């Protein structure tokens, strides 16, 4: 049994919105507020799908939208956040008031990518173009003091490379992480030390707190390597924020089925 469509497509308008449709939508939301997008079109007298209404409001009609050109500061912030989070446009947008995820995504694809290329930087990896991958380097995020009961108590996380041992951050002992260590608990992150270190530097250079509304995200399993990278970055990022939150599931388990979605508020 399939899922019901979000609207009756044959009875809905598509394409560019007219002024009249915009006004209807604005007036309806002014009166009733946001939410319940599925029933909104009918209630507002619009021949549009609920998703379309939501998108139009969020990306174009919302009164708090900034619009206009991006500033140099916004550019750099987007670049820094992208290096931490990857293509998580909604998370990036959450750090830029008045900007939407769609707007940032478009801006990234049309302007910033080119800007980075002109600087000789790969926009996906944020590394110099043509640089050799460092996958041959060994990285261990050690979790000392692994406990029983399928929990890992991490006393101190450190990053080891052939050349050096770099302390990542101090973590209080005896704090459960909620991680499922039923599989491999050797803590391999799948990241090169260079990658992790890069994330940390960027984190420190940005120094902005994440909004608490994102605290419970990243609960999915079966992460691919890119997602892992974003997740590690996210966790490290959180660790330095004022309302300190840490996830101790830094060691991504075999097959990435780690359930370390519990982000502990200290």
Q: Which spans of this chain sit near DNA (rule: CB under 7 A)?
A: 1, 3-4, 6, 9, 13-17, 35-39, 48-52, 54-56, 59-60, 87-91, 101-103, 105-107, 109-111, 114, 216-217, 219-220
Whether the Cβ atoms of residue 104 and residue 92 lie closer than 8 Å to each other: yes
Residue whose CB is less far from DNA, 47 or 168: 47
Q: How far is the CB of 210 from DNA (least distance, A)?
A: 13
Task: Extract the runs of DSSP E, i.e. beta strands, from the chain.
Answer: 140-141, 156-160, 165-170, 245-246, 264-265
Q: Quick one: which of 85, 81, 106, 107 has its CA closest to 95?
A: 81
Residue whose CB is less far from DNA, 55 or 257: 55
Q: What are phi and psi of 256, to 5 degrees?
A: 60, 25
Residue whose CB is less far from DNA, 117 or 128: 117
Q: Would you state the structure tokens that stand for residue 94, as one six-digit string? A: 């959450």
Q: How far is the CB of 117 from DNA (least distance, A)?
A: 11
Q: How far is the CB of 130 from DNA (least distance, A)?
A: 21
Q: How far is the CB of 222 from DNA (least distance, A)?
A: 8
Residue whose CB is less far from DNA, 171 or 263: 263
Q: Quick one: which of 249, 251, 253, 248 has its CA closest to 266?
A: 248
Element (H, E) at 160: strand 156-160
């Amino acid at each position: 049994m399939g899922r019901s469509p979000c609207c009756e497509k044959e009875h809905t308008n598509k394409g560019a919105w007219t002024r009249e449709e915009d006004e209807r939508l604005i007036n309806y939301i002014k009166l009733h507020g946001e939410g319940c997008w599925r029933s909104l079109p009918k209630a507002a007298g619009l021949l549009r799908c609920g998703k379309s209404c939501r998108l139009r409001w969020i990306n174009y009609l919302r009164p708090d939208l900034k619009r206009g050109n991006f500033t140099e500061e916004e550019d750099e912030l987007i670049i820094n956040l992208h290096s931490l989070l990857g293509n998580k446009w909604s998370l990036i947008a959450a750090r830029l008031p008045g900007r939407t995820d769609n707007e940032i995504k478009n801006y990234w694809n049309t302007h910033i990518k080119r800007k980075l290329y002109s600087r000789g930087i790969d926009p996906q990896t944020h590394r110099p173009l043509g640089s050799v991958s460092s996958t041959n380097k060994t990285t261990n995020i050690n979790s000392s003091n692994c406990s029983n009961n399928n929990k890992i108590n991490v006393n101190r996380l450190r990053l080891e490379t052939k050349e050096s041992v770099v302390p990542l951050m101090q973590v209080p002992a005896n704090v459960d992480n909620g991680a499922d260590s039923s599989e491999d608990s050797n803590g391999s992150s799948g990241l090169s030390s260079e990658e992790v270190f890069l994330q940390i530097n960027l984190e420190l250079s940005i120094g902005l707190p994440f909004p608490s509304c994102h605290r419970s995200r990243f609960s999915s399993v079966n992460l691919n390597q890119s997602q892992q990278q974003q997740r590690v970055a996210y966790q490290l990022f959180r660790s330095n924020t004022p309302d300190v939150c840490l996830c101790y599931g830094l060691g991504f388990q075999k097959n990435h089925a780690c359930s370390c979605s519990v982000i502990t508020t200290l």
